[in-house]
Amino acid sequence: MVSRIGREIDLSPVELGSRVGGKVRINMASGTPDPRVIPIEEIKNAYEEVLQEKGPRSLFYPGAGGQPELIEEIRRFVPSLNLSLDKEDKIVVTSGAQHAIELISKYFLDNDVVAVENPTFVETFMAMKLRSNVTLPIDLDSEGMDVSSLERITKIVRPKLVYVIPNCHNPAGVNMSYERRKALVELASARDFYVVEDDPYRPIAGCVPPPIKSFDREGRVIYVSSFSKIIAPGLRVGFIVAKGEIAEKLSLLEQLDFSTSTINQYVVANLLRRGLVSKRMTTLAMHYSEKMKILTESLDDAGIFKFNPPKCGFFALVDLRTDAERVFEVATKDGLSFVKAKAFFLRGGDTMARLSVTIPTAEEIKEGVTILKRSVLDVKL
């Protein structure tokens, strides 16, 4: 007999989707950033410089919590995320947002109650699900999580954590409205819960409302960010901003894995110092928004799909209005892969597909939608 986590862990549908996705001609499954905009040369130079300047020190064990030089660079960087830190805010460097959420879940949860958007990102959510007994699915619309619905539910059950992806939602593509961000923080205070604000898309989001954390005066919001979208996911560097004891403890919990590469932390610090990250923010927001425009126009033209036009990011969540499982089977044979979005839903979602614009070219996006339409019609026949 193993642990509860050991018994319940399973292959994530996203991981499965990306294994299938890689084998199919048009890959609209993958959540990886567009390979064409990964700054290979700049990263190569950064490794060279770091090894030159720091020598062996760049390859020592990382300290728990992150390398001070990177923390300092992140401190200078966060204002461009529309986040101003106060004296009590601390930065904890992590191996990306996924690791951040694993640390947060480990810190807070022992078979507790959590509330999440329905749908939510199944992969980050897994870390919470495996440590909670009750999950409250809160409806999501074009304005993000329905906070009034959360307000009603929390009259009866109090969650310990509320997990939110406020910008370029994965899989739904929506942004949470300014009013709801504010209302969520007020509710957190009234009902005594913590908010996990998972915000990895902000650096490539363009213009979005301020972080939920910026409304928080009580240290109830734990902010999670990442360099995966703005630099590259393979470095595995992200960070948490949280207050006082929570930040201290999350940083101590890193002693259990010491998983964030020291040299990669210095590489990210180098790129931040050179202004590469800030410079790319506008360019990448435009890049992805152009690709997304092609997708939404193609979907509109096809005339049979229902979806909320994504505000930013990589994904559109599309209602195929027929069994997505069967469409998936037909489409993959025809050269298109996507992620069957049922897995993102705590209830419903059988007809939903998540389409990503990062890997395919403009032409492939158009062709992908054609295949998708054909597959839907085929299944409906």
Residues pairing with 134 in the sheet: 113
What is the SS3 assignment for 80?
helix
Residue 9 lies near a second copy (rule: CB under 8 A): yes
Residue 119 lies near a second copy (rule: CB under 8 A): no
Size of the site for a second copy (CB under 8 A): 67
Q: Which residue has the tokens 């694993």?
A: 102
Least distance to a second copy, CB of residue 207, Å: 27
Closest CA to 224 of 216, 213, 236, 234: 213
Residue 99 lies near a second copy (rule: CB under 8 A): yes
Residue 38 lies near a second copy (rule: CB under 8 A): yes
Residue 191 lies near a second copy (rule: CB under 8 A): no
Angle value at C-alpha 248, between 103 and 78, nearest 5 degrees? 80
Stretch that binds a second copy, among 230-238, 283-291, 310-318, 322-330 (CB under 8 A): 230-238
Measured from the Cβ of residue 143, the count of other Cβ atoms closer than 10 Å reads 15
Which runs of consecutive H residues, i.e. helices, occur in the chain?
4-8, 13-21, 40-54, 68-77, 96-108, 122-129, 147-153, 178-191, 244-253, 262-273, 276-302, 324-333, 362-380
Residue 133 lies near a second copy (rule: CB under 8 A): no
Measured from the Cβ of residue 152, the count of other Cβ atoms closer than 10 Å reads 11
Residue 232 lies near a second copy (rule: CB under 8 A): yes
Residue 53 lies near a second copy (rule: CB under 8 A): no
Site string for a second copy, 246-285 (x = CB under 8 A): ---x--xx-xxxxxxxxxx---------------------
**From CA 313, how far away is CA 107, in angstroms rounded?**
29
Least distance to a second copy, CB of residue 292, Å: 20
Q: Which residues bind a second copy (CB under 8 A)?
A: 2-6, 9-12, 15, 19, 31-32, 35-36, 38, 40, 43-44, 47-48, 51-52, 55-64, 95-96, 98-99, 102, 106-110, 123, 126-127, 130-131, 228, 232-236, 249, 252-253, 255-264
